[in-house]
Structure 1
Amino acid sequence: MPRMIYDYTKSVLEKVSFDLDLFMKELKKAIKKLLPYEVEHLRNWLVYFTAQHPQLRPSLELVTEAA
């Protein structure tokens, strides 16, 4: 079950990646809902994802603070 939430979170973040504010809002919600090891996986995914979408790099700070 938790893996489904993680996968859903990634799909939501991909869909809202056009807007940094919306992306940050969804990321904050995800950090609250995910387990600590899932937040770490999300951080790793986010590093990869922000390499392709540099406008989203400020969001890395949120995940770094949560980890």
Structure 2
Amino acid sequence: MPRMIYDYTKSILERVSFAPDLFGKELKKAVRNLLPHELDHLRNWLMYFTKEKPELKKCLVVIEKN
């Protein structure tokens, strides 16, 4: 079940990536809901995902705090 939540979180973040504010809001929800090892996976995925999206880089502060 937790893997499904992680995959769902990724799909939501992909869908809202057009709006940095909304992306940051959803990222904060993800930090609250995911397990520590899932956050590590999400952090790695975000580094790859935001490589070509500089407008989303500022949102990574949310996940780096944890």
TM-score category by the smaller chain?
over 0.9
Scaled by the length of structure 1, what TM-score is found? 0.95
Unpaired runs of at least 5, structure 2 = none
- Structure 1: which 4+ aligned runs deviate by more than 6 Å? none
- CA-based RMSD: 0.6
**Matches of 1:61 and 1:33, distance apart in 2:** 17
Q: Provide TM-score, normalisation by structure 2.
A: 0.96
Percent sequence identity over aligned pairs: 62
Cα distance in 2 for partners of 1:40, 1:64 equals 10
Amino acid at match of 1:61: V
**2:65 aligned counterpart, secondary structure:** helix
Q: Structure 1 unaligned runs (5+)?
A: none
Post-superposition Cα deviations, 1:1-49, rounded to whole Å, max 9, x if no partner, equal 0000000000000000000100000000011000001011100000001
Structure 1 match to 2:36: 36
Q: Which residue of 2 aligns with 1:48?
A: 48
Separation in structure 2 between the aligned mates of residue 64 and residue 20 of structure 1, nearest angstrom: 17
1:62 matched to 2:62? The reply is: yes
Letter in 2 for 1:5: I
Q: Residues 16-27 of structure 1: matches in 2 within 5 Å?
A: 16-27=16-27
